[in-house]
Structure 1
Amino acid sequence: MWSRRLAPGVLLLPLAFLVLRDAPAGTVPPAPAAIGPVAPRGLPQPVIVSRASWHADEGLLKEGPRYTGAAKAVFVHHTGHSNGYDCADAPDLIRGVQADHVRSEGWDDIGYNFVVDRCGTIYEGRAGGVARPVRGAHTKGFNADTVGIAALGSFGPGTTVPKALADGIAKVAAWKLRPGADPRGTVELVSTNDESLYDKGETARLHVISGHRDSYGTSCPGEVLYALLPVLRDKVAALRAKTGRQIATARLRPTL
Structure 2
Amino acid sequence: MRAFIASSIGVTCAAALVLPLAAPAGAAPDTPAHSTTAGSAPAEASEPAALPGSTQSLALAPLSTTSARATGEPAPAAAGQGLTERDVHAFSMVGVVWDDVNTELHGTAQVRTRSTGTGRWSGWQDLETHNAEHSADPGTAERESGAVRGSTAPLWVGASDGVEVRVNPEAPGTRDASATPVPLPAGLHLELVDPGEDPQELPATGAAGADRAAPEGATALPALSRSATDAAAGYAPGAKPYIGPRPRIVTRKGWGADEKIRERAFTYTKTVKAAFIHHSATGNNYACSQAPSVLRGIYRYHVKSNGWRDIGYNFAVDRCGNIYEGRAGGVTKAVMGAHTLGFNTNTMGIAVLGTFSNSDPPAAAVDAVAELTAWKLGLFEANPKGKVNLVSAGSNKYKKGKMVKLNVISGHRDGFATECPGARLYKKLGTTRTSSARLQGR
Give TM class, smaller chain. 0.7 to 0.9
Tell me which of 370, 376, 383 is aligned to 1:170. Answer: 370
Q: Distance in 2 between matches of 1:42 and 1:228?
A: 22
Paired letter, 2:425: L
Residues 276 and 409 in structure 2, CA contact (< 8 A), matched pair in contact too: yes
> Quick check: 1:50 aligned with 2:251?
yes
Structure 1 runs (4+) greater than 3 angstroms displaced: 12-18
> Quick check: 1:20 aligned with 2:157?
no
> Quick check: 1:222 aligned with 2:337?
no
Q: Secondary structure at the match of 1:188?
A: strand
Tell me which of 124, 132, 135 is aligned to 2:325. Answer: 124
Please report how far the alpha carbon of residue 104 of structure 1 lies from its aligned counterpart in structure 2 after TM superposition.
1.9
Please report how far the alpha carbon of residue 161 of structure 1 lies from its aligned counterpart in structure 2 after TM superposition.
1.1
Residues 76 and 212 in structure 1, CA contact (< 8 A), matched pair in contact too: yes
Aligned CA RMSD, in angstroms, stands at 2.1
Q: Secondary structure at the match of 2:253?
A: coil
Q: Distance in 2 between matches of 1:126 and 1:70?
A: 16
> Quick check: 1:111 aligned with 2:312?
yes
Q: Distance in 2 between matches of 1:122 and 1:222?
A: 19
Residues 319 and 365 in structure 2, CA contact (< 8 A), matched pair in contact too: yes
Gaps of 5+ in 2: 1-102, 106-126, 142-239
Choose 1 or 2 for highest CA Rg: 2
Q: Distance in 2 between matches of 1:164 and 1:203?
A: 34
Paired letter, 2:402: E
Percentage identity across paired residues of the two chains: 46
Q: Distance in 1 between matches of 2:133 and 2:317?
A: 16
Q: Distance in 1 between matches of 2:331 and 2:383?
A: 21
Tell me which of 412, 419, 428 is aligned to 1:212. Answer: 412
Structure with the higher strand share, 1 or 2: 2
Residues 356 and 423 in structure 2, CA contact (< 8 A), matched pair in contact too: yes
Paired letter, 2:279: H
Q: How many residues align?
A: 220
Paired letter, 2:419: S
Q: Distance in 1 between matches of 2:438 and 2:366?
A: 14
Q: Distance in 1 between matches of 2:340 and 2:398?
A: 12
Residues 70 and 177 in structure 1, CA contact (< 8 A), matched pair in contact too: no
Q: Secondary structure at the match of 2:350?
A: strand
Please report how far the alpha carbon of residue 52 of structure 1 lies from its aligned counterpart in structure 2 after TM superposition.
0.7
Structure with the higher helix share, 1 or 2: 1
Structure showing greater relative contact order (alpha-carbon pairs closer than 8 Å, 6 or more residues apart): 1
Equivalent residue number for residue 401 of structure 2: 201
Paired letter, 1:129: G
TM-score of the superposition, structure 2-length normalised?
0.47
Paired letter, 2:272: A
Q: Distance in 1 between matches of 2:340 and 2:133?
A: 9
Please report how far the alpha carbon of residue 231 of structure 1 lies from its aligned counterpart in structure 2 after TM superposition.
0.8
